[in-house]
């Protein structure tokens, strides 16, 4: 568990967090994007797929309430995708995303990851700024199933 200067705790996902994790995903995705088929499939039980593939989920608790989540999906033995990062609207400005990002990168490195990447959208300006502050760099964009995805970033954890 990581505790920050404000009353934020970063904890590993627990089945008791399932409803909050699903709600965070729904709030984040529906606020910014038109739902696509891949999103609709993942919203019913998003944690099952991530955890079954050897990934992990971190939850941010503010005064004990779940207000943020970060999920890393294992793509290869030493490569993870930052698949989800969401903070509730009421918790914006508390630097929860930064705390989640740092904790997720540390967890990935501890799990043997050499690289973490993400695929996102340029209209999420605040998120892109956060990713850059965490050390992610833009790389050429591969084809994606998501119409909204137009940027790929990655971080080399061995550098």
The domains of the chain are located at: 2-156
Show pLDDT as tens, one digit a residue, over the chain (159 residues).
554 455 889 999 888 888 887 777 666 555 555 555 555 555 566 677 777 788 888 999 988 889 988 889 898 889 999 888 888 888 887 888 889 999 999 999 999 999 999 887 776 667 888 899 999 999 988 776 666 667 888 999 998
Q: What is the pLDDT of residue 19?
A: 81
**Domain 2-156: which CATH class?**
alpha beta
pLDDT for position 8: 86
User: What is the per-residue pLDDT for 37?
Assistant: 58
| Single pTM value for the model | 0.79
User: What's the 3-state SS for the chain?
Assistant: CEECCCCEEEEECCHHHHHHHHHHHHHHHHHHCCCCHHHHHHHCCHHHHHHHCCCEEEEEEECCEEEEEEEEEEEECCEEEEEEEEECHHHCCCCHHHHHHHHHHHHHHHCCCCEEEEEECCCCHHHHHHHHHHCCEEECCCCCCCCCCCEEEEEECCC
At residue 80, the pLDDT reads 94
């Amino acid at each position: 568990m990581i505790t920050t200067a404000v009353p934020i705790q970063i904890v590993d996902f627990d089945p008791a967090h399932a409803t909050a994790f699903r709600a965070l995903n729904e709030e984040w995705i529906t606020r910014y994007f038109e739902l696509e088929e891949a999103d609709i499939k993942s919203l019913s039980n998003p944690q099952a797929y991530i955890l079954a593939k050897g990934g992990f989920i971190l939850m941010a608790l503010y005064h004990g309430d779940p207000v943020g989540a970060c999920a890393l999906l294992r793509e290869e033995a030493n490569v993870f995708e930052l698949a989800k990062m969401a903070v509730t609207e009421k918790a914006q400005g508390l630097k929860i995303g930064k705390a989640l990002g740092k904790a997720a990168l540390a967890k990935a490195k501890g799990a043997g990851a050499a690289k973490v990447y993400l695929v996102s959208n340029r209209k999420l300006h605040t998120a892109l700024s956060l990713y850059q502050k965490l050390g992610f760099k833009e790389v050429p964009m591969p084809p994606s199933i998501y119409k909204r995805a137009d940027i790929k970033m990655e971080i080399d954890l061995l550098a």
